[in-house]
Amino acid sequence: MSVTIDDVRQAHARIRPYVHNTPVMTSERLDELAGARLVFKCEHMQKAGAFKTRGAVNAVFGLEQEVARAGVATHSSGNHGAALARAAMMRGIPAWIIVPGNAKRVKKEAIRAYGGEIVECESTLAAREEILKRVLGETGAHFVPPYDDDRIIAGQGTAALELLEDAPDLDAVITPVGGGGLLAGSAIVGAAMDVDVFGAEPEMADDAARSFRSGQRVTHHVPQTIADGLQTTLGERNFAIIREMAADILLVSEQEIVNAMRLIWTRLKQVVEPSAAVTLAVVMRYRARFAGRRLGLILTGGNLDVEQLPL
C-alpha cells in the first residue's frame, strides 16, 4: 500500500496543533434502538465543521516552503474546500477553490470565511477539471486533491486512530464513503489494530459498493442523494486500499438516512449533515449483522444549511 499506519501516525503528529481531537459520545437510547453499543466520533465538531480538516492540514503543512509559497488549489463541493482554505490561511498562503455553482450556500460561505477565493464552474467533473487546470496554470498553485491523494488519506485516517485510542475495545468502525479518503485511511488503521472497518454509502450514490463487489472501479455514475458530501466518485488510490482492507460497504436508502439524522439530532442532541448520518443508518438497517457488537461511528460533518433541511 502507498499509505501505511506509520504515515497515519506521522500525519497525526503533524496536524495535532491545528485540529481538534474531537470527543466521543454515547447514548443509551440509541444503543437500545440499534441492539449494539455505539460510540460516536464527533468530527462534525472538528475545525471547519468536518473531518476534511485533517487531510487538508496534513497536505498543506507537509509542503516544502518553495512549493507552498505559490498557494494551493482544489475542486470541492464544500467541506474539503473550506478545510483547505483554512489550512492555507493558517500557513499564510493563498487558496483557490473551484466550486460547482449549485454547491450549498453554507459551504461557499465557509470557504470565503477562511479566505479562500471561490472560482465557480458547472456541476460536472469535466468542468471542475478544466477550470482547475486554468487556475493552476495562471497561479502556479499546488493541487491538493479532495480525496485521491496519499497525504489526504493519511490525514483522514487520524480520526479513526483517535477513536480507537479513546475506545480501544471496539469490534468495528463504520465510516461514510464518497471519494474514499476517510474509509481508506480508517481501513489502514483498522488493519493495524485488528478492527473491522465498514463503509456506509447511499443507495443513490453506490459507486463505491459496486466497485468493491465487482473488483472494478466505477468511474462514471450520476448520484441523486441528499448526502451531498458523498456524491463524489471513488478515487483510484482509495479503491486499491479499500478493496484490500475494508470489511464491506453497506448501502442505505434516502429515507433511512433522514431517519438516522433525526435520531442523532433528537437522541444524541447533535446537529449533523446527511453524509454523517449514513453510519447510523447502516447500523439500524443491518441490525442482525451488528447485534451485540461495540461499534465506532464517525460523524463526519455538521455543515448543514438550516434553510434547506432535507426532511
SS3 labels along 132-193: HHHHHHHHCCEECCCCCCHHHHHHHHHHHHHHHHHCCCCCEEEEECCCCHHHHHHHHHHHHH
Can you give the residue ranges of every domain in the chain?
A: 5-52+149-299, 53-143
CATH class (in words) of the domain with range 5-52+149-299: alpha beta
Closest-CA residue to 24 (of 168, 152, 190, 156):
168
Hunting for cell 437500545 — which residue is that? 32
Count of C-beta atoms within a 10 Å radius of residue 154: 32
What is the spatial distance between Cα 198 and Cα 127, in angstroms, rounded to a whole number?
Answer: 32
What tens-digit pLDDT sequence spans the chain (311 residues)? 689 999 999 999 999 999 999 999 999 999 999 999 999 999 999 999 999 999 999 999 999 999 999 999 999 877 899 999 999 999 999 999 999 888 778 778 889 999 999 999 987 778 888 999 999 999 999 999 999 999 999 999 999 999 999 999 999 999 999 999 999 999 999 999 999 999 999 999 999 999 999 999 998 888 899 998 898 889 999 999 999 999 999 999 999 999 999 999 999 999 999 999 999 999 999 999 999 999 999 999 987 766 666 66
Q: Flag whether the pTM goes above 0.85.
A: yes
| Domain 53-143, architecture per CATH | 3-Layer(aba) Sandwich (3.40)
Q: Do domains 5-52+149-299 and 53-143 have the same CATH topology?
A: yes
In the sheet where 117-121 sits, what is the strand order?
117-121, 95-100, 72-75, 142-143
